[in-house]
Structure 1
C-alpha cells in the first residue's frame, strides 16, 4: 500500500512537472510572437511618423491621405495597448509562478490568461501594413516638386492642358483665330490630351507592379 501510494504520488509529481514545462513553453512561444508583432508595430509607427516630415502637400487627395494616416495611427495605438495588456498578464503569471506553486486540488486546474483578440493581432497588423503600403504608393504615383517645405504634385494632364491654353491664347493674340477654331487644330488638341492621359495611366499602373 505504501509503495502504491508512493508511485501514485510520484506519477502526480511527474504530471505536474510536465504541465509546468508545457505552460512555460507556451508562455515562451507567446512572448516570442508578441515581440515579433511589437517589432512590426514599431516599423509601422516609424513609417507613419515619417509622414509628418514629408511636408505639406497640395492636391485633391491631401485631406483623404491625412484621414487615412490618422486612422492608421489610431488603430496602431489601440493594438499596442491590447498587446501591452497581454504582456502584463503573461508577466503576472510568470511572477506568481502559477504552475510551479500550485499544489493539491488546484494543481489539476488549468492556468489561463485572458486574451481577447490574440489570434487576430497578426491579421490586423498585416491589414495595417497593406493599407499603409497602399497609401505610400498613392503618394509615389504622383510626381512632386518641393517648394521649400511644401510638396506640389505635378500632374501631366494639368501641365499639358495649361501649355495648350497658353498656346491658344498666343495664337488668338497673334490673330490666328481661324486656325484655333479649325477642325484639324481641335483634333490635334484632343489627341495631345488623350496621349497625356494614356501616359499618366501607364505610369500609374507600371508603378503598382
Structure 2
C-alpha cells in the first residue's frame, strides 16, 4: 500500500511540475537578452615575464538589449538581468551582480511587449565568463604562439587581441492582464521564463612590463 501511495504521489508531483513549465511557456512568447550595438572598448589583461597575471580593467560598460513578450491575455510585469546562472526575479542574489526592472520600467503592467536598452558599467570581478575569462583567453593565445614556434618571451612582449564571453541571463515575469493592470501580481500568480547570452568582449593582452 505504501509503495502504491508513494508511486501515485511521485506521478502527481511530476505532472504538476510539467504543467507549471507548460503554463509558463504559454504565458510568455519570447525572452531574449543580447548585445545592443557595437562594443569597441577592450578589456585589458596584464602580463609578467612568465605569464598573464590579471585583468587590468576594473570595469566595463556593457550594451544590453532586454526583451520580453507575453501572450495575448498576459502582460510583462517585471524583468531581471544578471551575470550568473539561474537568475530569478523573486530571489535574492547575495553578492552576485543583477538589476531588476518593474513598475514604470516595464510600463506599469500595461505592456505585452517590453524592450529595454540597458548600458550598465559593471565591475569585472562581478562578471561570470562563459568558457574562459580574459586572462585564460590570453593564456590560450600564448600557448598557440609557443606551439607555432615563437619564443615565450617574444610572445609576451607583444600586444595581442583575442576575445572572451561575458555571460548574462534575463528572467521575465508575466501576469494575467487584469492582475498586471491593478498591480496585484506576486510569485503565486505569475510565471517566468529565462534566456541566457554570451556577450563577446574584445580582450587586449598587454605586453609584459
Q: Tell me if both proteins adopt one fold, taking TM over 0.5 as the criterion.
A: no
* TM-score, normalisation: structure 2: 0.22
Indicate the structure with greater strand content: 2
**Greater fraction of residues in helix:** 1
